[in-house]
């Protein structure tokens, strides 16, 4: 049975005894959309890297992980403990010999990219979802993932939240595009986005690869995200077997870390049941 617990209904003591790694979604979990982590989050996240392996698994591109996370980390962060998995885990970066190294990337072919762009625009227009006014880029090539943002990449968060509150628009668009692209994986992303990647490339794959890299099981990983309901882009992490914790925004994540950090500090290094 797949179980998702709200952050304020989690047994943090039991979780800390078992967890061997923790992973986070980025937008609206660690930080507001496309914004850097706030100082209170950055301080807690920095300390967390000194206590156990920490992963960031986001639909966003690598550059946003840099600006939203890496650029605001404290100088005492343990980068060796940090795992960066942008574009829904289709890319994986580790810190080696004083630099970030790309462990793998599953990039789309030129043909698949062209077919996806054509389908996204055609289907969005047919469904009345090709908005006249957008903020910035509407279709972004992230190499291993194509992301369609109905209001543009730079849309303000309040506009994004209001555009499709029940996810019905994204589901209709994803279904229409998926019918055009049977060779690719098409899924709803964030508040206004649709992501297209190679088959099997979602956060369930990221969880499995993270577990493999660490020599642990997916069940040993706690995954924290704001879109943990079925159909949400964090839910595949729960399907992969991670212990799934739901938050509604960065403020919840700060409160969760305030409960976890004292327990993790008391735990002997490397200790987990």
pLDDT of res. 24: 98
Report the pLDDT value the prediction gives residue 88, as an integer from 0 to 100.
87
Give the model confidence (pLDDT) of 217-265 as tens digits.
Answer: 999 999 999 999 988 889 999 999 999 999 999 999 999 999 999 999 9
Average pLDDT, the chain: 94
Q: What is the pLDDT of residue 270?
A: 52
Residue 59, SS3? coil
For residue 71, CA distances in Å to 65, 82, 130 come to: 9, 14, 34
- What are the DSSP E strand ranges found in the chain? 4-6, 21-24, 54-57, 82-85, 91-96, 99-105, 139-141, 146-149, 185-188, 193-197, 221-225, 243-246
pLDDT tens-digit series, residues 93-132: 999 999 999 999 988 999 999 999 999 999 999 999 999 9
Kindly list the distances between the CA atom of residue 10 and the CA atoms of 40, 42, 265, in Å, as whole numbers in the listed order.
21, 22, 18
The reported pTM is 0.85
Domains of the chain by range and CATH?
4-106+201-266 (3.40.50.1000), 110-197 (3.30.1240.20)
Question: pLDDT at position 190, please?
Answer: 83
- 58 contacts 85 by C-beta, under 8 angstroms: yes
Report the DSSP pairing between strands 193-197 and 185-188.
antiparallel
In tens, the pLDDT along 17-72 reads 999 999 999 999 999 988 999 999 999 999 999 999 999 999 888 999 999 999 99
The model's pLDDT over 176-216, given as tens digits with 9 standing for 90+, comes to 999 999 999 998 888 899 999 888 888 999 999 999 999 99
Q: Beta partners for 21?
A: 221
Nearest to 54 by CA among 35, 79, 71, 76: 79
What pLDDT was estimated at residue 271?
56
Whose structure tokens read 């919840």? 252
């Amino acid at each position: 049975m797949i179980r998702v617990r709200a952050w304020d209904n989690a047994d943090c003591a039991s979780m800390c005894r078992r967890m061997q790694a923790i992973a986070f979604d980025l937008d609206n979990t660690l930080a507001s959309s496309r914004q850097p982590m706030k100082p209170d989050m950055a301080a807690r996240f920095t300390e967390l890297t000194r206590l156990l392996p920490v992963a960031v698994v986001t639909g966003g591109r690598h550059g946003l992980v840099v600006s939203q996370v890496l650029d605001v980390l404290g100088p005492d962060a343990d980068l060796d403990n940090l795992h960066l998995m942008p574009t829904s885990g289709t890319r994986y970066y580790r810190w080696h010999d004083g630099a970030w190294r790309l462990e793998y990337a599953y990039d789309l072919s030129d043909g698949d990219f062209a077919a996806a762009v054509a389908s996204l625009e055609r289907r969005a227009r047919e469904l009345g979802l090709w908005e006249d006014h957008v903020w910035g880029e509407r279709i972004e090539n992230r190499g291993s993932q194509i992301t369609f943002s109905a209001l543009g990449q730079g849309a303000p968060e309040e506009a994004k939240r209001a555009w499709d509150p029940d996810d019905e628009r994204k589901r209709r668009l994803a279904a229409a595009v998926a019918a055009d692209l049977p060779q690719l994986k098409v899924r709803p992303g964030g508040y206004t986005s649709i992501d297209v990647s190679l088959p099997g490339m979602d956060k369930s794959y990221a969880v499995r690869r993270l577990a493999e890299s660490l020599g642990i099981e997916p069940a040993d990983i706690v995954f924290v995200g704001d879109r943990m309901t079925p159909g949400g882009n964090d839910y595949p992490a729960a399907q992969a077997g991670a212990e799934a914790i739901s938050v509604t925004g960065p403020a919840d994540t700060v409160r969760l870390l305030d409960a976890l950090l004292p327990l993790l500090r008391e735990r002997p290094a490397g200790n987990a049941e």
